[in-house]
Structure 1
């Protein structure tokens, strides 16, 4: 694969901070030796989860957002590999594949201006190319009977996650999206705000649940559209946390009822987690612990088929905190799924 950069033993040894009488997560993970036939290699590996990153924020740029999502993978892997390996973290069940590194496209962004329509259209064409790589890699992992855990990039990559999983399983899948935004915008060229609308229109996504929509950032047009479609359900952040007409746990149950009968993906947009550095950081959102509970609740279901954590945009000052948050979410998912 053109954009896949395999995670190597030399990278692992650079990152790993060993301590006497302790065993770190990174000491027990599996790595792929080479690029030759990833599907065949994964098929032979005694692992359940395949972790990879996506280094791009082209989709965010193409949606007029703030870039930085390309940094999430590096921030996460530094932390994750140095947590403890113990009976609760299941490191031996994990293969770290590496990342899809779209440096070529990132460099092109530097020549584009978000205020120019032509430049936005150019970025949206690049997103379609990113879609192809993500779709292919996810389909290879799922076809090999493993569960992808995808870290970083914009929410545009939900498209490739859903399509890739659907193609591997040869049927449409369901998805739950923990997000302040619906990402169901018009099919106007690909970007981070319309991954779900595209994949829904193409028939790869069946039932879709949006968890925690922010009422201030959802247009009347979108409310009218999604209210007409029985296969799309949602709740709002305001009804759960502000007016408290309902509660977090019962809303998770409602979401699960909508998606549990088919294989489903779990999408976590860091924009929904309060004060988390992201492309659209919010001062009002769910807590990190609520995000963890959410991942655990849905990850425990046998039909949970992938986890995607996106839109986090760490800077050098906060990358350790962002990496810790994402590492918690990854291990929460694995812990829950191992116990299902």
Structure 2
């Protein structure tokens, strides 16, 4: 198993489930690993369609000079996911709960640093995180399962794209719902350049960015992506200010662009208005819009995974815990929904 993988057992999740008479919770039916076989064997033999994994880290965000806190999203969201109702629409036995990748030691080390040293070390560690993520996603994809990954920073998109690409034997496509392109300069790995690295190294083919903000995308980035035929985008202003083509038209165009090959769904929580995240926005998509994107975006047989990232709840603020936890739980349930 991956060296940083913490596998969950029944004891780990039981305290997170709130049973109620006459109801069945998703966590009461979710599948778990056991210790007797290898990860590859258990993934292959499992009847679950999805594998749920957490990556609680914000080292890639630190490496990008961003606001930390994305390390808190997984532990915040998991109880809300486990307490979704198990019914004909959201079946717990469709999910294998794997566990999380533990980078607590690395986080402690980065927290002890400052200035240029912190950035330099964070970028080095982000590279090692890439390898762990890519290796685990490779195994999940090779087993025929779809990964549901809750981050963490958007740096982990690189490992997801690489692992999926290596498992399928070709470059994969991607729909990224994001206020930013994350296609910045390849200057050392961080949360702002996962897609530019994946594209340069041949793991990412067609790339569609949905709803980027013109206010926060540089002239240089626009110029770089407009040169590439394999990259398309719609801006938030196209969708909701100028209303050039409309939400439904742009979404269908985006899905058509990426569904021809294996593809990933990337959901950056900073695209959602008012969501506690590493780049919180006062103007953005509604949660209901993103839920619709997830539901429609996952329908094609070529969808390989969903990655929900960049949520950064303050763990001392109950309002933020509920907001983030429920939002991620809704997105997970929409991904498995019939």
Aligned twin of 1:84: 85
Aligned twin of 1:330: 332
Q: Which has the larger displacement, 100-109 or 154-163?
A: 100-109
* Contact residue 276 and residue 313 of structure 2 kept, 8 A: yes
For the pair 1:162 / 2:196, whether they are aligned, the reply is no
Question: Once the 2 structures are TM-superposed, how far is the Cα of residue 101 of structure 1 from its aligned partner?
Answer: 1.3
Aligned twin of 1:119: 118
Question: Once the 2 structures are TM-superposed, how far is the Cα of residue 35 of structure 1 from its aligned partner?
Answer: 8.0
Distance 2:211 2:201 in 1: 25
Deviation sequence 1:42-72 (CA, Å, 0-9, x none): 1001110000000100000100100000111
Deviation sequence 1:240-274 (CA, Å, 0-9, x none): 01121121110011101211110100000001000
Equivalent runs, 1:255-270 vs 2, <5 Å: 255-270=254-269
Question: Once the 2 structures are TM-superposed, how far is the Cα of residue 73 of structure 1 from its aligned partner?
Answer: 0.6
Aligned residues: 334
Report the RMSD for the aligned CA atoms in angstroms. Answer: 1.0
* 3-state DSSP of counterpart to 1:154: coil
Mark the runs of 5 or more structure 1 residues left unpaired by the alignment.
none
* 3-state DSSP of counterpart to 2:305: strand
Deviation sequence 1:269-306 (CA, Å, 0-9, x none): 00100000000000000000001011011011111110
Distance 2:209 2:23 in 1: 41
Deviation sequence 1:20-53 (CA, Å, 0-9, x none): 1111100100000128521111100111000000
Aligned twin of 1:207: 206
- Relative to 1, partners in 2 of residues 1:35 and 1:233: Cα closer, same or farther, differing over 3 Å? farther
* Contact residue 278 and residue 311 of structure 2 kept, 8 A: yes
* Contact residue 8 and residue 31 of structure 1 kept, 8 A: yes
Aligned twin of 1:32: 33
* 3-state DSSP of counterpart to 2:207: strand
Distance 1:88 1:330 in 2: 12
Equivalent runs, 1:185-224 vs 2, <5 Å: 185-224=184-223
Mark the runs of 5 or more structure 2 residues left unpaired by the alignment.
none
Aligned twin of 1:149: 148
* Contact residue 6 and residue 34 of structure 1 kept, 8 A: no
Question: Once the 2 structures are TM-superposed, how far is the Cα of residue 7 of structure 1 from its aligned partner?
Answer: 1.3
For the pair 1:96 / 2:97, whether they are aligned, the reply is yes
Question: Once the 2 structures are TM-superposed, how far is the Cα of residue 91 of structure 1 from its aligned partner?
Answer: 1.1
Aligned twin of 1:9: 10
- Runs ≥4 residues deviating over 4 A: none
Aligned twin of 1:52: 53
Aligned twin of 1:22: 23
* 3-state DSSP of counterpart to 2:15: helix
| Aligned mate of 1:320, from 298, 322, 326 | 322
* Contact residue 25 and residue 81 of structure 1 kept, 8 A: yes
Calculate the TM-score normalised by the size of structure 1.
Answer: 0.97
Distance 1:35 1:77 in 2: 25
* Contact residue 149 and residue 330 of structure 1 kept, 8 A: yes
* 3-state DSSP of counterpart to 1:268: strand
Distance 1:117 1:74 in 2: 30
Question: Once the 2 structures are TM-superposed, how far is the Cα of residue 119 of structure 1 from its aligned partner?
Answer: 2.4
Distance 2:209 2:9 in 1: 37
Distance 1:92 1:118 in 2: 46
Deviation sequence 1:119-165 (CA, Å, 0-9, x none): 21111000000000000010000011100000010000000000000
Distance 1:93 1:139 in 2: 20
Distance 1:256 1:16 in 2: 35
